[in-house]
Amino acid sequence: MRFLFFATLKRFWGNSLVQLLCVIGIISIGHPWIPLEGAQFFLAISLVLRELLVFVLPFLLFSFIAVALSAIPKESMLFVLGLMATVFLSNFLNILISGCVGSCVLSGVEAQELPVSTVSVTPLFTCTLPQIAGTIPSLLAGVAIGLWLAFFPSKFLSSGIHFLHHLVMMFMKRFFVPLLPLFVGGFLLRLFLEGRMTGFVEHNTRICLLTCGFLWSYLALWLLIAASFRLSRAVQIFKTAFPAIVTAFSTMSSAAALPFSLEAARKNTQDKALSDAVMPLTLNFHMVGDTILVPIMALLVLQAFHHPLPGVVDFLLFGFFFVLNKFAGGGVPSGTIMVTVPVLEKYLGFDETMTAFIIAFYGVVDPIATSGNVAANNFFVILFQKMRNALKKRKTTSS
């Protein structure tokens, strides 16, 4: 009994969300007693960790996508690429909807800007790492190499890419992710000392609640479409998917909910082969919760930090590369927001403080986003079945 208690306690304290919330709580209460030199030191550590993240991300993007594409059997290539194209279009459409809704919400609710601070916290020291490769070229190179290996296997090249992927994942999981609270903490400490964190919470809580409400309203529409607007069928689908949604919310892991999602998909589609093919493939790529919440969060942070909202072209470019990066965020805790950092900085003008702020922001809403991802994927497999059946019927009719 005692062993079970300590094992549960260890698992609880090892949860990244719990650690992040503890850091936010400690800093929010104790920041008035932290000396300026201490804040400068922690800010410097956060900046060093950010340099490491930006340095490693191109290798993460390249290796993850190359490994994923190279593993696709040639005989299944058409089906998988068709599914990935559908997922890409769905994610991109969600981002466009999120951007439109976010703009309307921000203008309608009149979110307040953060107060301009008279206090400035500067890092005690700095560290700059060379940028060996850009994130976009690395991503495109990963696609090219992955497809090449799928058609023309090379044991030597494949082993090298897998080894690189192993090293990057080791760095992320065993070094960077455990230090994530420290990474976010230095930037949050600066925000609290400069008075901007308190102002954000006071002025924008209502917008955050409206955003989460919109996500679940949007998912309710997906559910109704999957059920052909039959209420009894919608209740049945949701009831079957509910264990997976709850598991995703409590664990913040789509992978942990996969067994429940597979069982629900098999029941809702009555097609085991389709469910077993679609559900695992969409697990880390099709993330409706993220593609709805992150763009609105990004616009909210931009406005709060006195930055202009992006133009149409910049937002479209942000959405396009954000969706591409979605294919490389799986397997890393908070991977969605991590791989989005370069895109936020390049196309939306985020600086290091805004980046750390949205990472902390995302950590708080991660259970909602993850449960939204799992709910959407349970509805998506039904919609994908409907589309496939419609295409088969059309092909049969035309022939």
pLDDT digits (tens, 9 = 90+) for 43-70: 888 888 888 887 888 888 788 778 877 8
At 162 the three-state DSSP class reads helix
> Which of residues 329 and 299 earns the better pLDDT score?
299
Percent of the chain with pLDDT over 70: 86
**Among 325, 287, 277, CA closest to 64:** 325
Burial class (CB in 10 A: 0-12, 13-18, 19+), 128: exposed
* CA distance linking residue 125 with residue 46, whole number of Å: 11
pLDDT top residue among 305 and 217: 217
pLDDT average, residue stretch 145-174? 87
- The answer to whether the beta carbons of residues 71 and 209 sit under 8 Å apart is no
Residue 284: predicted pLDDT: 72
Cβ contact 366:279 at 8 Å: no
pLDDT band at 118 (very low <50, low <70, confident <90, very high): low
**Sign of the alpha-carbon dihedral angle for 307, 308, 314, 317:** positive
- Asked if 216 and 243 count as a contact pair (C-beta separation under 8 A), the reply is no
Domain ranges (residues) in the chain: 15-398
Cβ pair 194, 115 in contact under 8 A: no
The SS3 of residue 271 is: coil
Q: How far apart are the first and last CA of the chain?
A: 67
Architecture of the domain made up of 15-398? Orthogonal Bundle (1.10)
Provide the pLDDT for residue 223.
94
Confidence at residue 378, expressed as pLDDT on a 0 to 100 scale: 93
Question: What would the pLDDT profile of 256-284 be if each residue is shown by its tens digit?
Answer: 788 888 899 999 988 887 888 788 778 77
Question: Which position has the higher pLDDT, 336 or 308?
Answer: 308
* Two tokens, residue 235: 């209740």
- Asked if 352 contacts 47 with a C-beta cutoff of 8 angstroms, the reply is yes
Q: How far apart are CA 17 and CA 295, in angstroms?
A: 21
Considering 189-203, 258-272, 299-313, 370-384, the range whose residues carry the highest mean pLDDT is 370-384
Determine the Cα–Cα distance for residues 231 and 140; give it in Å rounded to an integer: 44
8 Å CB contact between 210 and 109: yes
- pLDDT higher for 224 or 196? 224
Instruction: Tell me what the mean pLDDT of segment 72-87 comes to.
Output: 78
pLDDT at residue 92 is higher than 90: yes
* CA distances from residue 5 to 21, 279, 305 in whole angstroms, order as listed: 22, 34, 44
Phi first, then psi, for residue 176 (nearest 5°) are -70, -50
Residues 350-376 pLDDT 10s: 987 788 778 877 877 888 888 999 999
What is the pLDDT confidence band of residue 332, given thresholds at 50, 70 and 90? low
pLDDT for 249 beyond 50: yes
C-alpha separations of 247 from 16, 169, 214, 281 in Å: 16, 24, 21, 19
pLDDT, residue 225, reads 93
- Residue 43's pLDDT is 85
The chain-wide mean pLDDT, for the chain, equals 81
Whether pLDDT at 111 is above 50: no
Band the pLDDT of 95: cuts 50, 70, 90: very high
Kindly tell me if the per-residue pLDDT of 4 is higher than 80: no
Q: How far is CA 1 from CA 12, 48, 304, 352, in A?
A: 16, 42, 49, 45
pLDDT at 221: 94
Identity of the amino acid at 109 = V
* pLDDT value, residue 230: 93
Query: Mean pLDDT throughout 276-304?
Result: 85
Q: Which secondary-structure segment (H or E) carries 363? A: helix 352-398
Q: Is the pLDDT of residue 84 over 90?
A: no
